[in-house]
């Protein structure tokens, strides 16, 4: 206050030594106050509970088919383990009580979630965010040997699963990316395709499947069979032609004999039928003649007079 009135009401020519001394005293007091404020550290308003809240969340990773043990940092008389609905909730499914440990034996993909140990119904001691990884694995059985005729399409399927989803790399005879002399090699996420295959496409084709847990591989042995050009063998052709001629002649001869016998059989059957008919006619005529003669004799016997 004195310092402000001094500067506003007096000129520098009217300043006496006493007043100048008071001015220095006031200026020094002001500087001491400023230095004390700057030198005093800011008060730490955080509490141990705040640090505990920040540090009571832990990310945990595990691999399927292994064993995982969660340990609660504080042991109480009524420790509870729950599977929480979300990270900011105290509500969830009660899993275990009266134990400071929770064990997964074995770990499965369905175990992924947020777990917490409680001192009572609402007081969380610690939360664990469990992430489950699964090693890559092939989802179907594959055939190792693939044999195709030249000109056909060759498709190699190498489908796999895992958590996180794995990636795939193809090799031909331990070289990647695979190449061919004629045409292109088409690949999608899980398969390799060779269109219009040729004998030069044969070889070992390997798929390598990897994620953060590890890698697996499978090798296909591909063989493409082509048609070979052979020199003309006239001797073989002659033998085949002769055999063919013999077969044809035999067939024709057999057919001729068969039809000839058939014609003879039909003629014989016809002659038998004619003779049978003639015999039947003669028999009928003879029978009629006998009947007529009997009738004539009978009539003559009736017309003769009785002799006494």
Q: What is the pLDDT of residues 137-171, one digit of tens each?
A: 999 999 999 999 999 999 999 999 999 999 999 99
* Nearest one of 40, 127, 60, 52 to 88, comparing CA atoms: 127
- Does pLDDT of 100 surpass 70? yes
Q: What's the rounded Cα separation, in Å, for the pair 82 and 117?
A: 7
Contact 209, 160 (CB under 8 A): yes
- Does pLDDT of 237 surpass 90? no
Q: Taking the model in full, what pTM does it have?
A: 0.53
| The dihedral sign for the CA sequence 3, 7, 8, 9 | positive
Residue whose structure tokens are 């000109």:
151
pLDDT score at 271: 82
Cα distances from 100 to residues 2, 60, 120, in angstroms, run 69, 17, 12
Over residues 164-189, the mean pLDDT reads 91
* Nearest one of 69, 57, 68, 77 to 125, comparing CA atoms: 57
Average pLDDT of the chain to the nearest whole number: 80
Contact 194, 154 (CB under 8 A): yes
Q: Of 86-90, 107-111, 227-231, which gets the smallest average pLDDT?
A: 227-231
User: ∠182-185-190 over CA atoms, to 5°?
Assistant: 160
- The model's pLDDT over 218-231, given as tens digits with 9 standing for 90+, comes to 999 999 998 654 55
pLDDT score at 204: 96
Q: What percent of the chain has pLDDT over 70?
A: 76
pLDDT score at 12: 42
- The model's pLDDT over 266-305, given as tens digits with 9 standing for 90+, comes to 888 888 877 787 777 767 777 777 777 777 776 665 555 5
pLDDT score at 19: 56
pLDDT score at 28: 57
**CB neighbourhood size of 81 (10 A):** 22
Confidence of residue 250 (pLDDT cuts 50, 70, 90): confident
For residue 169, what are its two tokens?
């790399």
pLDDT score at 122: 80
- Does pLDDT of 93 surpass 70? yes
Q: Of 29-43, 125-139, 210-224, which gets the smallest average pLDDT?
A: 29-43
Query: Going by DSSP bridges, is the β-strand pair 215-225/145-149 parallel, antiparallel, or unpaired?
Result: parallel
pLDDT score at 249: 87
Helix residue ranges, H only, 10-72 = 17-39, 48-55
More confident: 129 or 34? 129
């Amino acid at each position: 206050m004195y310092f402000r009135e001094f500067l506003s009401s007096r000129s520098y020519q009217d300043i006496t030594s006493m007043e100048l001394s008071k001015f220095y005293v006031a200026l020094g007091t002001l500087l001491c106050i400023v230095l004390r404020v700057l030198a005093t550290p800011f008060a730490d308003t955080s509490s141990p509970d705040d640090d505990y809240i920040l540090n009571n969340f832990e990310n945990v990773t595990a691999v399927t088919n292994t064993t995982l043990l969660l340990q609660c940092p504080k042991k109480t008389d009524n420790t509870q383990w729950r599977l929480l609905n979300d990270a900011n909730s105290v509500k969830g499914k009660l899993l275990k009580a009266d134990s400071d440990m929770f064990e997964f034996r074995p770990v499965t993909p369905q175990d992924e979630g947020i777990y917490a140990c409680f001192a009572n119904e609402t007081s969380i001691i610690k939360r664990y965010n469990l992430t489950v990884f699964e090693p890559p694995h092939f989802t179907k059985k594959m055939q190792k040997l693939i044999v195709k005729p030249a000109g056909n399409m060759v498709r190699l399927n190498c489908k796999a699963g895992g958590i996180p989803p794995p990636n795939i790399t193809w090799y031909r005879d331990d070289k990647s990316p695979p190449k061919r002399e004629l045409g292109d090699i088409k690949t999608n996420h899980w398969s390799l395709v060779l269109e219009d295959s040729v004998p030069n496409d044969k070889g070992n084709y390997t798929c390598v499947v990897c994620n953060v847990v590890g890698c697996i591989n499978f090798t296909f042995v591909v063989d493409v069979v082509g048609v070979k050009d052979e020199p003309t063998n006239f001797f073989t052709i002659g033998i085949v032609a002769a055999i063919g001629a013999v077969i044809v002649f035999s067939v024709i001869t057999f057919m001729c004999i068969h039809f000839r016998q058939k014609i003879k059989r039909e003629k014989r059957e016809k002659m038998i039928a004619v003779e049978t008919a003639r015999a039947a006619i003669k028999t009928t005529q003879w029978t009629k003649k006998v009947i007529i003669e009997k009738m004539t004799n009978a009539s003559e016997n009736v017309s003769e007079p009785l002799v006494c």
